[in-house]
Each structure stands twice: as structure tokens, then as C-alpha cells.
């Protein structure tokens, strides 16, 4: 009986991570945890948002009771924004962050980043995008020069490999075969 396996695919998602003002001094430690969790940091920048920029960034939260405190908190000092990439980046980043309420995170997810670095419901230390759509929108907001092209899959990926990768690989392997060293080791 032959088992049919699907062709391997490469799925790389991007998400936005923000180290908030109150834990900026833990940036290197947090970055190390991010890298050890299998993420790649594609872009990174340190900046300070104005209250107006914070209002625009968190526009979906407008009208909620905590909105004025959130914009004041996020504009109170510098932040570090990072574009993280890996397979299922959005969901893995949310899992690593834990619940948005740091007090709850300490009980239910004690090893999460918000449990480790957050102090309360508002000052939870880190931001993460909620979905792929919001990640793209937030990345464009913080990194307006970023090019967010979808990773090709299916026929588009095969066409790209056939057009660009295979000829280069074939030429390189052919040249390598023609060069037979006297002592390969």
C-alpha cells in the first residue's frame, strides 16, 4: 500500500512584535527568547510614537474605556518594533505572548512573555498582531517602506524554481562535477 504524501510546501508568515515602553530595558533578553523560539527577525526599529500615531495604530480600540490610557502608555517612551517571520508566525507569537492580561497570564500561562514581563492588564509588556490581516496592516504602519509580497505557493512556486533556481543550481553542480579534486577530504 502506497502512502501519498503531499509535496512539501514552505509557508512563511510575518507578524509584528512590539516591545512596549516599560520593558524596553529588557529588549535584548526578549529578542533572545524570540530567536530561540524559532522566529527570524526580518526588520527592527526603535522609535517613539506620538499620541496621535498611537491613536491611529490602535484605531480599532477607539471608544473603549482603556483607549486614552493605552495611547498615553504607548507614547510615554520609546518602543522596539520587529517584523517576525516563521511558519504560522501569528499564532506562534500569540502563544508565546500569552493572555493580554499579565495578571491572568501569570496564573494560566506562567512561562509566557506577558507573564514574565507584564505588570497588569494594560502594561502587558509586548504587542502582537491578532491575525495575518492585522499583521500586514500593522507592519505597513510601523515600516512603511516594507514590501509585503505573499510567498508563492503551488504553480507560482514551481514556476519560480524552474525559471530561477534550477538553472543556477544545475550550472553550479555541473561546474562542481567537472572540478574533481585530487584529495576530496
- CA-angle at 47, arms to 42 and 52, nearest 5°: 120
For residue 33, what pLDDT is reported?
96
Q: What is the pLDDT along the chain (185 residues), one digit of tens a residue?
A: 556 666 555 557 899 999 999 999 999 999 999 999 999 999 999 999 999 999 999 999 899 999 999 999 999 999 999 999 998 999 999 999 999 999 999 999 999 999 999 998 889 999 999 999 999 999 999 998 876 666 666 787 788 788 888 888 888 888 878 887 677 66
Q: Based on the residue annotation, tell me whether 109 is a catalytic residue of this protein.
A: no
Task: Say which of 40, 109, 111, 127 is annotated catalytic.
Answer: 127
For residue 37, what pLDDT is reported?
95
Please answer whether residues 6 and 154 qualify as being in contact, where contact means their C-beta atoms are separated by less than 8 angstroms: no
DSSP-derived secondary structure for the chain? -PPP-PPP----EEEEEEE-GGGGGGHHHHHHHHHHTT-EEEEEEEE---HHHHHHHTGGGTTSTTHHHHHHHHTSS-EEEEEEEETTHHHHHHHHH--SSHHHHHHH-TTSHHHHH--SSS--SEEE-SSHHHHHHHHHHH-TT---PPPP-HHHHHHHIIIIIHHHHHHHHHHHHH---SS--
For residue 177, what pLDDT is reported?
81
- State in words which class domain 13-151 has: alpha beta
Domain ranges in the chain are 13-151, 152-184
Amino acid at each position: 500500500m502506497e502512502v501519498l504524501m503531499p509535496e512539501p510546501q514552505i509557508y512563511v508568515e510575518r507578524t509584528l512584535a512590539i516591545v512596549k515602553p516599560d520593558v524596553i530595558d529588557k529588549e535584548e533578553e526578549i529578542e533572545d527568547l524570540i530567536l530561540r523560539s524559532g522566529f527570524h527577525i526580518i526588520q527592527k526599529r526603535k522609535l517613539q510614537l506620538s499620541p496621535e500615531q498611537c491613536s491611529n495604530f490602535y484605531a480599532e480600540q477607539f471608544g473603549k474605556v482603556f483607549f486614552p490610557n493605552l495611547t498615553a502608555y504607548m507614547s510615554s517612551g520609546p518602543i522596539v518594533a520587529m517584523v517576525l517571520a516563521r511558519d504560522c508566525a501569528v499564532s506562534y507569537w500569540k502563544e508565546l505572548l500569552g493572555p493580554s492580561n499579565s495578571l491572568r497570564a501569570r496564573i494560566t500561562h506562567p512561562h509566557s512573555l506577558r507573564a514574565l514581563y507584564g505588570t497588569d492588564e494594560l502594561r502587558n509588556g509586548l504587542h502582537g498582531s491578532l491575525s495575518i490581516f492585522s499583521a500586514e496592516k500593522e507592519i505597513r504602519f510601523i515600516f512603511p517602506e516594507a514590501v509585503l509580497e505573499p510567498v508563492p505557493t503551488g504553480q507560482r512556486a514551481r514556476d519560480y524554481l524552474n525559471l530561477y533556481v534550477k538553472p543556477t543550481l544545475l550550472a553550479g553542480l555541473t561546474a562542481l562535477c567537472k572540478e574533481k579534486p585530487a584529495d576530496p577530504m
